[in-house]
A and B are shown apart, each in its own frame.
Chain A
Amino acid sequence: MTDKTSHNTPAVEVSHIVKSYADKAVVDDLSFVVNRGEIFGIIGPNGAGKTTTIRMMLDIIKPDSGEIAVLGERLREDSKDRLGYLPEERGLYRKLPVMDVITYLASLKGMDKRAAEVRADELLEQTGMMPHKGKKIEELSRGMSQIIQFIVTIIHDPELVILDEPLAGLDPVNADLLRGMFAGLRERGTTLILSTHQMNEVEELCDRVLMINRGRQVLYGSLDEIKARYRSNSVRVGCEGKLGEVPGVVAQRPHRGYVELMLDDKTTPRQVLEHLMGTGLTINRFEVATPPLNEIFLRVVGESRHE
């Protein structure tokens, strides 16, 4: 297997794209880069322009202005074979049998029929869908057809996989199955772009994120970096016994199993830790508190609404 991360160019490079419908900008001067081999999250509220951005990346629709390079070049007919796409709302040929749908859509990605059948069998086996191989799509449950659509997305071993709300509507078992498959793809060096508004999915899976609201970039960078940027000046402490008064701490917020200490502007977490070590208390947990992405998301979206 070739190492898909070894290329020099980014997986996706988007520069200043704009798309308007009826004079309303749906995507407004958006720029970002997706590196090879990473899982990149595009997040934002409904109607933020996530799907429109993805469609422009896939050359399904044209941007009014701006440039997009996918896998190092402007997307061409033959380079589409190197990417896989799972749209937000799933649809397959309802009247056709599972295998026919998979092999037809795989053939459009340049696979020959025999290779597609062999790989489809492997993926059907891996996802536990083998017993449904001969059924028509309309006979499958929503979750099952979603799994089939995911198989269609990755069957040709693409270098770049774009997934729009991939876990929406899946039961926990199937969601877990797909998460495992995402991890497998990443290990093989595949670049994954995940568009979602489920913040827990992003925290769990993504290396870097782009947050957009009303078509504009509001946050962009690595998850750790963003969390650090938005952290409040507080620490979480779990200990045996009573903490008592801690210098530089303006408030203590007890939670189940830990206490959150709010520090004043002059105090650092290190100073608090040193103080606590000196008290002789048994410390089980000490961490700099970072807000969950959900909170950052709400805060940023709230801020941009007030602008």
Chain B
Amino acid sequence: MNKTLLILKHEFFHTLRRKAYIVITLIVPVLALLAIGIFQLVSVIIQPPEVEITTIGYVDEIGGYDGYTVQGRIELVPFAATEAATTALLQGEINEYFVIAPSYYETGVINRYTLEKQLETPSDIAAAIKRFLTSNMLTGKVPEATIALVEAPLNLVATRLTETGAPATEQGGWGNLLLPALFSFLLAFSIIFSASYMLSGLVAEKENRLIEVLLSSVSTRQLLTGKVLGLGATGLIQVAVWLVSLPLLFNLASSTIGGFFSAIQIPANFVALGLVYFILGYLFFVVVAAGIGAISTNTQEGQQLVSLMTMPVFIPFWFGSLLFIYPNNPIWVFLTIFPITAPVTTLLRLGVSDVPVWQVVVSLLVLALSIVGMLWVTIRVFKTYLMMYGQRPRIGEIIRSLRRG
């Protein structure tokens, strides 16, 4: 059997048997199952509380404000005079009251009286009073349907058209974002775990000098390629377990949690692009971790250096809200093309808006070239610095030795 394949096989099965790998692979579906279970349990144990009715008094000094006294959970009770309303408030019969003064039509002022110390009138109460006033003012002057429209004048239904003018199959919206967001989040985690496996495995082999035995049997290229592909295969299995469990969990969740999950859409090309970005992103970071492993003197130092490299993977998540507002800002274009942030950014952008084809092509090209370049650098760094135990070379030294070839 080809030696690269032998190393791949060994790394693959060795990693599959690692406790940390098994725990992390299973933790996503198990936690999700647990969350759904807890939700179900809680919803059975805790019955939804009876809706508490807020009673608001009002004194109508103009007259005619006697309809629409139930506004959702707010009930409006008329009082003949402010004294009576104040007494009711002090006795706890009502939560607060307001007065529609004769000058209301000229000034628009409504005086509100409450025992609570508040920064401002709670929005639900203000909305209820507003609806009560508007509805009563329009009663008899316009049809009932018009009153309903004045209350809720906008029910915006957006339709995305294709270039031919026909409605697009992919309509966007939050349901469109969920899967890419979740997938890219899992991808980021998977990348970090794999980079960490690569590093700890390599540093351990370096520390106990097993790497010398391996390199006396195979070339650096064979060793690195076998390790990277072996770990890549375990990463694919990890993400496959997560992805296979997701639809099942969504089904389970939508039957228990509600309608939101039924709105989930998978953006066009997402599965194919997701897979390509996953593989390339994975290879890039694992190769980087191997290079860092070659120059690190111990696992702790290596982990710190790897963290510096993997932290930017999360940049698109940190500024996620900006992505929703300005999905086509040049910064996002840069992050789509920059190899460290490319996988997560592109997948997220696919969920938010369309990503121009040229950007995807350039991004994939840069990522692929970066992998080849990093592999080249890593093999050289490996040959030069692998056996320098106890002292890490400085960046300048590494660059000098790369120049020397």
A residues with a Cβ closer than 8 A to B are: 21-22, 52, 55, 58-62, 77, 80-81, 83-85, 87-94, 96, 104-105, 107-109, 149, 152, 162
Contact = CB atoms under 8 A, between A and B. Distances in A.
Contact of B213 (A59, A61, A96, A152): A152
Contacts of A83: 216
SS class of chain A's interface: helix, strand, loop or mixed?
loop
Contacts of A21: 388
A91 B207 contact: yes
A96 B386 CA distance: 24
B212 interface: yes
A65 to B, nearest CB: 11
B218 A108 contact: yes
Contacts of B216: 58, 60, 80, 83-85, 162
Contacts of A52: 387
B10 A80 contact: no
Given A89-B209, A105-B217, 6 more contacts: A21-B388, A58-B215, A60-B212, A77-B222, A80-B218, A108-B218
Interface in B198-253: 205, 207-210, 212-219, 222
Contacts of A149: 213
B3 A108 contact: yes
A91 B217 contact: no
Contacts of B207: 91
A22 B390 CA distance: 14
B95 interface: no
B405 to A, nearest CB: 10
Contacts of B397: 22
A80 B217 contact: yes
21 contacts: A55-B387, A58-B215, A60-B216, A60-B387, A61-B383, A62-B384, A77-B222, A80-B217, A84-B216, A87-B209, A87-B212, A87-B213, A89-B209, A91-B208, A92-B208, A94-B208, A105-B213, A105-B217, A108-B3, A108-B217, A109-B217
B119 interface: no
Contacts of B387: 52, 55, 60-61
B390 to A, nearest CB: 11
B212 A85 contact: yes
Contacts of A105: 213-214, 217
Contacts of B1: 107
B6 interface: yes
Interface in B339-397: 383-384, 386-388, 393, 397
Contacts of B393: 22
A52 to B, nearest CB: 8
Nearest to B215: A60
Nearest to B404: A64
Contact of B10 (A55, A91, A104): A104
Contacts of A92: 208, 210
Contacts of A81: 217
A84 B393 CA distance: 30
A22 B219 CA distance: 25
A298 B52 CA distance: 96
Nearest to B380: A62
A187 to B, nearest CB: 24
A87 B7 CA distance: 20
Contacts of B210: 91-93
B144 to A, nearest CB: 77
B205 A61 contact: no
Contacts of B383: 61-62
Given A61-B383, A62-B384, A93-B210, A107 B6 contact: yes
Nearest to A96: B14
A90 B209 contact: yes
Interface string B268-282: 000000000000000
A93 B388 CA distance: 21
B208 A89 contact: yes
B222 A61 contact: no
Nearest to A162: B216
B219 A91 contact: no
Interface string B66-107: 000000000000000000000000000000000000000000
B7 to A, nearest CB: 8
Contacts of A93: 14, 210
Contacts of A60: 212, 215-216, 386-387
A145 B215 CA distance: 20
A94 B393 CA distance: 29
Nearest to A85: B216
User: Which of B6, B217, B397 has the most chain A CB within a 10 Å cutoff?
Assistant: B217
Given A22-B397, A61-B384, A108-B3, A77 B218 contact: yes
A61 to B, nearest CB: 5
